[in-house]
Amino acid sequence: MARMILLGVGTGLPDVDRENTHMVWDGPGGPLLIDAGGSTYQRLLRAGIDPQTLRGVLLTHNHTDHINGFPALVFSMALGGRTEPPLPVYGIESTLTTARNILEAFEQEGCAVSVDWRPIEAGDELELGAGWKMHTALTAHARPCLASRFQGPAGEALVYSADTSPCEAVTDLAHGAQVLIHEATVVEPIYGHTTPRQAGEVAAAAGVKRLIMVHFSPRWTMPEAQAVAEVRAGGFTGAAEAGRENQVIELVGNA
């Protein structure tokens, strides 16, 4: 079984129900954390994932709301007793540089797990185990940012857009996926983010079966019912919803 668990689904300005967007892929080979916003260690525990078992971390980009929990994560992992192996951290070189500088500023030597920095670029592929792979694509955002596709051996596919305006690279990455987790941050189109209507347009163009909106807030963006109506106005007729904290999205083959 493979699944994505949403640890946080909010915008850069959290509300009472939604933390900064981050999530964990739980599949063969062990859990892979995607971004580290807010109280990541606690949210992993809440989701039933032992943070000490993380196989790695993918940092999509270096905006504060996506990496602010990273220093606390490696600190807590050390307090929890993890010493080996080093924690692989994947991301674009500029993203890893920011994360490395933040760790150095905290001067956590001896109080943080060892990190294995692994630069990746758009188009790279990561073997996850048991026939599962992760593919990446560059999004349209203010900072270099990676979207990801988790592809299984029996036709399973889930895509996370990360932060982005609608763009061809993400649409192509999502083509034919069972699930598209797409950001839906803003009410009016701006560069670097997506409206619910635009998310619907991307989902329709990609031919996905299910759209889950994240980086979304009923308080700061729009009410969920209005967002789903906007998705429909964008031409998407499949299942559509706003993501929820601790939501589990399971994938099955040939679905």
Residue 244 pLDDT exceeds 70? yes
Average pLDDT score, the chain: 95
The answer to whether the CB of 161 falls within 8 A of the CB of 139 is yes
Quickly tell me which residue has 């500029």 as its tokens.
94
Alpha helices in 147-221 (DSSP H): 168-173, 196-206
Residue 254 has a pLDDT of: 59
Q: How many CA atoms lie within 13 A of 140 on its CB side?
A: 13
Each residue's pLDDT tens digit, 108-163: 777 778 999 999 999 999 999 999 999 999 999 999 999 999 999 999 999 999 99
Share in percent of the chain as helix, strand, coil (round to 5): 25, 30, 45
The predicted pLDDT at position 214 comes to 98
Q: Using alpha carbons only, what angle is made at residue 216 by residues 214 and 217, rounded to the nearest 5 degrees?
A: 140
CATH 2.60.40.3880 fits domain 2-251: no
What's the whole-number mean pLDDT along residues 78-94? 92
Could you tell me the residue ranges of all domains in the chain?
Answer: 2-251
Tens-digit pLDDT profile for residues 11-20: 999 988 899 9
